[in-house]
Copies of this chain bind each other. A is one copy, B any other.
Amino acid sequence: MALSHAIMTALLDEELSGYDLTRRFETSLGFFWESSHQQIYRELRQLSERGWLQATPVVQDGRPDKILYALTEDGRKALAEWVQGPTNLKRAKDDLFVKLYNIGHCDPAPVLAEIRRRQEQHAARLALYEKIRQRHYAVPEQLSAHRKGIYLALAAGIRHERMYLDWCDEALTLLKDVASAEP
């Protein structure tokens, strides 16, 4: 159960609607945690039923009505307990690595192409993260505790993208003659 905690984390200091949360999960928090709007809405309903969120319908003018969700005291307590509890480390589960095991049995060209695509994607992400860092987290030592936490998540993202790009270089160099040579 982790999406629920990610949602509650997003609600730590603001009330948000399902739609707002969907936006959040496309940026910031979403850099580390993806989710579809369908699942977010379902999770929100379940969390309200469990008493961890307070739902407030808001009638709007000029746009469709919405439901704002706020973290309750119970929710805050449950979240704190989860943060305090143990975290189990999970493997990445990247399909590309499984595909790499198939080189030598399949045509390697599509795998090579995929690595090049990754190179672009990760370069784009890195650029985005770097920009955010420069704008909002230029001097990490001077940030509040809360923002240090967020900065560190961003820093992990930056390190990850750099690492991945370096790996792509290594992979493309090592495989450059494989592409044409073997079937």
Contacts and interface: CB of A to CB of B under 8 A. Distances in A.
Nearest to A109: B84
Main DSSP-derived SS at the A contact region: helix
A110 interface: yes
A104 interface: yes
Interface in A157-183: 159-160, 162-163, 166-167, 170-171, 174-175, 178, 181-182
A23 to B, nearest CB: 16
B89 A102 contact: no
Contact of A103 (B84, B86, B146): B146
25 contacts: A2-B98, A9-B101, A9-B102, A29-B98, A30-B91, A31-B91, A32-B97, A33-B91, A33-B98, A34-B90, A80-B107, A83-B102, A84-B107, A85-B110, A86-B114, A90-B94, A100-B150, A101-B150, A102-B149, A103-B149, A104-B146, A152-B174, A152-B175, A159-B163, A159-B167
Interface of A: 2, 5-6, 9, 12, 29-34, 79-80, 82-108, 110-111, 114, 118, 121, 140-141, 144-153, 155-156, 159-160, 162-163, 166-167, 170-171, 174-175, 178, 181-182
